[in-house]
């Protein structure tokens, strides 16, 4: 396999899908050597087969607002690969959603899900619908219309969607309600469900918790802990919330949060009642970052900037893709940051990653570090199948164990001759090998 040749063909076939190209190139560069060392992968055409989704559904989602005006959005589901288990991956509702972003996310999901060691394939979906500023009734009508089209293509043993940006517990509720009515079954077809109707304890905070567990393991390789460390977090959503809680619990101080318009700098730390306030603001469905700075005297809102200019020891990007570029990386390094662990999917650009790795600081990609979310979704599926509920401690312990295991696999496949751990390479190789071998075992499909 030659990466440039494969990429040229892919770009020709799917012009303009830049996020998708970026994600595929990164994986291919990591696995090139191991792929070429295993001729049975080439014979089975694994690369050509794994970089294209199995299928993509695109559909119209008509819905009426509270004034009776009709709107039409696009809905998508990208079923990428199900060699090791049912398709699994979140739904994103955000105006930026397009096929390229969902293909990048679905592709990444294959390797992330493989890393969890649970039987889950890769998928992603969503819509260009913007939930911001919409009433509950509007959100419900949109979710119902979305599910009316999607339901026949998913199922507890075929494709199990979950939340992502813009899709939290409320949206999962409306989506699940409509699925249940149409399919006439109460099953684990979505994860992130409410506790009273099949959800798992710890799922809401699992991605953020898992990311911090992963960072804890990375720090331990250098004899460090979170105790007393200053931490920059971006985003103000589900992942940022879980990460802020766990960092605080482990003795670190979270000094930033952010939104698309700027960031909050709170040198006294985002903890206790501030985290509760953050949760309340999120539930309001309105613009949320600036009001936080008004509420707490210790905090300032820095408009139009990213949090990466603040002096911190650890950075946890938890908002969205490509939110930390080469110049942000330069600033973080100049300020003494020694650990970057991705809560979001692909938040660091390739230039930023190159800088981190050149300086040999600890850097972990989202596909390893944020796998705790989907891992706990996997645990929710297991509980649904067995029709039992595990305790908070039991789920958290399993999550912790899974994150440790993923870290161990990254170290196994990513440690170079000089002892530096390339977590990108480690995650990509470990995730890839399992899926590739499964595809070989199962024949040409």
Residues that bind ligand NDP (CB under 6 A): 163-166, 207, 234-239, 258-260, 288, 318-320, 323, 343-345, 370, 373
3-state DSSP assignment of residue 75: strand
Q: Phi and psi dihedrals of 232, rounded to 5?
A: -95, 125
What is the spatial distance between Cα 431 and Cα 88, in angstroms, rounded to a whole number?
A: 15
Closest distance to ligand NDP from the beta carbon of 351 (Å):
17
Q: Is the CA virtual torsion 366, 369, 374, 378 positive or negative?
A: positive
Question: Which residues are CB-neighbours of 277 under 8 A, at least 6 positions away?
Answer: 292, 295, 296
How do 230-233 and 253-259 pair as beta strands?
Answer: parallel
Q: Smaller CB distance to ligand NDP: residue 234 or 428?
A: 234
Least Å from the CB of residue 93 to ligand NDP: 9
CB 340 within 8 A of CB 315: yes
**Residue 257 C-beta: closest distance to ligand NDP, Å:** 8
Minimum separation from the CB atom of position 129 to ligand NDP (A):
13
Residue 44 or 189 having the CB closest to ligand NDP: 189
The secondary structure of residue 147, as a DSSP letter, is: H
The CB-of-5 to ligand NDP minimum distance in angstroms stands at: 30
Q: To the nearest whole angstrom, how small is the minimum distance from the Cβ of residue 183 to ligand NDP?
A: 24
Q: Is the dihedral of CA 204, 210, 211, 213 positive or negative?
A: positive
Nearer to ligand NDP, 28 or 344 (CB): 344
Q: Least distance to ligand NDP from the beta carbon of 71, Å?
A: 19
Q: Per the structure block, which two tokens stand in for 44? A: 């089975």
Q: Hey, what are 358's tokens?
A: 């050149």
| Identified catalytic residue from 103, 112, 124, 193 | 124
Biggest alpha carbon–alpha carbon distance for the chain: 65
Minimum separation from the CB atom of position 134 to ligand NDP (A): 13
Nearest-CB residue for ligand NDP: 237
Give how far Cα 367 sits from Cα of 114, 134, 140, 294, 407, Å: 10, 31, 31, 35, 11
Confirm whether 124 is a catalytic residue: yes
Nearer to ligand NDP, 172 or 362 (CB): 172
Between CA 209 and CA 236 the distance in angstroms is 15
Which residues are CB-neighbours of 283 under 8 A, at least 6 positions away? none
Closest CB to ligand NDP among 16 and 260?
260
| Non-local CB neighbours of 439 within 8 Å, separated by 6+ positions | 44, 46, 49, 50, 83, 445
E-assigned strand segments in 205-279:
230-233, 253-259, 262-265
**Nearer to ligand NDP among residue 85 and residue 210 (C-beta):** 210
Nearer to ligand NDP, 79 or 321 (CB): 321
Nearer to ligand NDP, 165 or 293 (CB): 165
DSSP annotation string for 363-419: EE-HHHHTTHHHHHHHHHHHHHHHT----HHHHHHHHHHHHHHHHHHHHHHHB-TTS
Catalytic residues: 124
């Amino acid at each position: 396999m030659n990466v440039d040749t494969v990429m040229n063909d892919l770009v020709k076939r799917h012009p303009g899908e830049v996020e998708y190209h970026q994600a595929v190139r990164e994986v291919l560069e990591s696995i090139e050597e191991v792929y070429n060392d295993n001729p049975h992968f080439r014979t089975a055409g694994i690369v050509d087969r794994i970089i294209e989704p199995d299928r993509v559904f695109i559909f119209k989602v008509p819905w009426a607002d509270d004034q009776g005006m009709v709107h039409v959005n696009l809905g998508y589901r990208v079923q990428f690969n199900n060699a090791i288990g049912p398709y699994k991956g979140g739904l994103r509702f955000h105006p930026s959603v397009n096929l390229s972003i969902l293909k990048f996310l679905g592709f990444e999901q294959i390797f992330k899900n493989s890393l969890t060691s649970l039987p889950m394939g890769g998928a992603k979906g969503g819509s260009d619908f913007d939930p911001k500023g919409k009433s509950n009734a509007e959100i419900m009508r949109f979710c119902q219309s979305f599910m009316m089209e999607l339901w026949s293509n998913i199922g507890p043993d075929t494709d199990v969607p979950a939340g992502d940006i813009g899709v939290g517990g409320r949206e999962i509720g409306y989506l699940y309600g409509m699925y249940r009515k149409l399919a006439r079954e109460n099953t684990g077809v979505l994860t992130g469900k409410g506790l009273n109707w099949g959800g798992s304890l710890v799922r809401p905070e699992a991605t953020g918790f898992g990311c911090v567990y992963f960072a804890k393991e990375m720090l331990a390789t250098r004899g460090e802990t979170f105790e007393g460390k200053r931490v920059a977090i971006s985003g103000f959503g589900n992942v940022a919330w879980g990460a802020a809680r766990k960092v605080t619990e482990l003795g670190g101080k979270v000094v930033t949060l952010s939104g698309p318009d700027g960031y909050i700098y709170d040198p006294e730390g985002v903890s206790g009642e501030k985290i509760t306030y953050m949760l309340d603001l999120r539930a309001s469905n309105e613009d949320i970052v600036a009001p936080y700075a008004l509420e707490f005297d210790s905090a300032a809102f820095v408009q139009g900037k990213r949090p990466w200019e603040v002096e911190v020891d650890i950075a946890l990007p938890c908002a969205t893709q490509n939110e930390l570029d080469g110049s942000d990386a330069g600033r973080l390094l100049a300020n003494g940051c020694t650990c970057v662990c991705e809560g979001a999917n692909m938040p660091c650009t390739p230039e930023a990653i190159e800088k981190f790795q050149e300086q040999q600081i600890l850097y972990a990609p989202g596909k390893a570090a944020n796998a705790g979310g989907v891992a706990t979704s996997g645990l929710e599926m297991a509980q649904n199948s067995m029709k039992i509920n595990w305790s908070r401690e039991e789920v958290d312990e399993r999550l912790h164990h899974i994150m440790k295991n993923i870290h161990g696999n990254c170290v196994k496949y990513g440690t170079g001759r000089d002892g530096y751990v390339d977590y990108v390479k480690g995650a990509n190789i470990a995730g890839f090998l399992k899926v590739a071998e499964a595809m070989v075992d199962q024949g040409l499909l």
